[in-house]
Structure 1
């Protein structure tokens, strides 16, 4: 079923929330803990990881709960609004706590981030489930994801480029409120734009959550696709966590983090439609493979980061950004294909469980990424300080390795399960 432009583009507004929430904590939370609150790098890595680990458990539950929803305004829509409101408020609280002592500040951040992550689970899982239910057209889903990735790019550019500037000018508390407003706009926009959408009439699968998880995980294409995406998320999470450190210690310019971000995300605005055309001609799987290779090449090229000449790093980030755009368009379009194929085969709806597991995997990858980066910093002897202490040469090497080689290896490994993916519905180009 074709969707009207209002729904296709309006649904994508939810990516203002997903793009912002997926970006800002990974970009700013770890350095906020280590360099502003004075929390040790290993402890800070755990604080970033624990709420995400909680989401790994919660996401499938959120999916099952939304599967069973019988709301007259849509199975998933009420979750978008309610969870979105809580998400906006709790995000602002993360950066509005006490500044010391470090132990008290760390506890505040941990509790606020746990609440925020819980709200995000109940927004993102229903949001991801909607494409498989509101259209049966594989091409329509890819067009929806093209719009979604474009909006994600705008959200990442806006939040990733401006949030560090707001921190520099007005402090972390003001940045938290600013990002909270962005989250609110995205969630409310998606809720309003999807009003009146007719869902595919399919019965909800009965039985306990454990049984539903077993059935979903038995789908081989889902396992392959999710494994590839999770490993890529781990690599991207490590890369994002390193941006602030690279800008400060390798480029000697904290403002360079914004430039790196624009160079990495900006290409998505231009190349996402080109990746859609690739799907029309050669299929989604082949496009995903090609985009992953480009992302690996660009990430390896980031090894050129140096304080003497910055432009090669920006060029490398742009190359990586071309691949990153494709690694967002294709998996987000392939997930509803897999979920819808399962629904057609079984006659029952497990879309929420599919998306819950998918979101859990993505969350785990993005959570482990900063934790992995923090571990690399610790091995390199990085010294946490509230005053921006000069780092030893081993720490500078660790900053570069965690930002380039570690993500590149992980993203390259993701090609192995992806090559065995077999469900590849080509998209008729319009």
Structure 2
């Protein structure tokens, strides 16, 4: 339970910027949509490049309280402070100055988050050697991650709209991050460290890994492109509710309708994988996700629309379950083939790929807003072209991104037992 508390921090920081940072820039600070998309993308791209560096620093850290926990504490608390400050504008009173403030603070958040997230992930392999105990450890972590995603994803817009705007929301989410950081720090203070595993990697090691393992290359490509589609969808939820549906209060409902079914049906997807195979299950989940999004292209009546959102969540659950289930198979097959234990390196590259995909999504949605002529500054009425761009950016674009990797999922190189 103590280890799982860290998921409150990672879930909150992983969810809220993807949902609200783009509308904060375009509507609250009047930053042009295309520029806002770049400002959201670049710090996350930095996060991808900096994670291995944070891992190497974490590997070399020595402290009487353990190899990971002090670094996690400093990085996590710094993340909370920087996150609250990021939503402080308007400070300068103009889009250039305030946009630069957000970009610099978001870059700081990404850096601080790396010093929390990388050692946090590494701890899972260091706390116990027992197979069943490790399963329980990760089960608690995933459960609290789901709680963090629901609470922050649905709660942050409610706080923003009902309790004082973006500044209060930023402080509230920062408070959730602090609870997670302190929870994992104090909750694991008596836990043993059975081994210290490398969390960092050199760029040459990453290139060599991708060159040697074809199944990993294919699976990673599928995962990154689909993460990009999911990131595009999540970035547009706030715009869809406010502009296309003309109901700002619908945003939390849409988010809960998307995430709630995903959490409920994950065991169902696991059973499908056992019966049909993981690769085929992933193909089915991909088609379900894209088909459900296609229904939303025409903006059907609200009950039908919400049903399509829920079905999209069902497909989304499969897109999360099957790649994560196939990754250990790929790692084990590579270890059998080479005789080398490189699980940490595989996991690091995988996490970096997910971060990159989720970062590209908001950038792509910002580009769609710009092409649609979206007017920044929180204006009451948007042109029809902007509404069309929002709807397509939330439905057709993520559906096409997710579907385009189906040919890769047909390759039997992913069938590893």
Q: How many residues align?
A: 413
In 2 relative to 1, CA 423–131 (structure 1 residues): closer, same or farther, beyond 3 Å?
A: farther
CA distance in 2, matches of 1:138, 1:422: 25
CA distance in 1, matches of 2:133, 2:323: 14
Is residue 46 of structure 1 aligned with residue 38 of structure 2? Answer: yes
- Corresponding residue for 1:411? 402
Could you give the per-residue CA deviations for residues 174-204 of structure 1, whole angstroms, max 9, x where no partner exists?
1001001111222333344455556665875
CA distance in 2, matches of 1:193, 1:333: 28
In 2 relative to 1, CA 343–62 (structure 1 residues): closer, same or farther, beyond 3 Å?
A: farther
CA distance in 2, matches of 1:115, 1:380: 31
Listed as ranges, the gaps of 5+ residues in structure 2 are: none
8 A Cα contact 2:9 2:180, kept in partner: yes
In 2 relative to 1, CA 185–104 (structure 1 residues): closer, same or farther, beyond 3 Å?
A: same
CA distance in 1, matches of 2:75, 2:56: 16
Could you give the per-residue CA deviations for residues 295-353 of structure 1, whole angstroms, max 9, x where no partner exists?
222222222435xx312221111111112123223333444554566567666664443
- Corresponding residue for 2:387? 396
- Corresponding residue for 1:428? none
1:68-147 aligned within 5 A = 68=60, 76-99=68-91, 100-131=93-124, 147=140
What secondary structure is seen at the aligned counterpart in 1 of 2:246? coil
In 2 relative to 1, CA 198–180 (structure 1 residues): closer, same or farther, beyond 3 Å?
A: same
Deviation at 1:144, TM superposition (A): 5.8
- Corresponding residue for 1:354? 346
- Corresponding residue for 2:202? 209
What secondary structure is seen at the aligned counterpart in 2 of 1:190? helix
Is residue 274 of structure 1 aligned with residue 268 of structure 2? Answer: yes
CA distance in 2, matches of 1:211, 1:132: 24
Could you give the per-residue CA deviations for residues 37-66 of structure 1, whole angstroms, max 9, x where no partner exists?
111111111111110111121122223444
Could you give the per-residue CA deviations for residues 276-299 of structure 1, whole angstroms, max 9, x where no partner exists?
334444554444333333222222
Considering only aligned residues, what root-mean-square deviation do their CA atoms show, in Å?
3.0
1:183-202 aligned within 5 A = 183-194=177-188, 201=195
In 2 relative to 1, CA 285–134 (structure 1 residues): closer, same or farther, beyond 3 Å?
A: farther
8 A Cα contact 1:153 1:266, kept in partner: no
TM-score, normalization: structure 1?
Answer: 0.85
- Corresponding residue for 1:263? 257
The equivalent position to 2:18 in structure 1, one of 18, 22, 26, is 26
- Corresponding residue for 1:59? 51
- Corresponding residue for 2:29? 37
CA distance in 1, matches of 2:64, 2:286: 41
Listed as ranges, the gaps of 5+ residues in structure 1 are: 1-5, 426-430
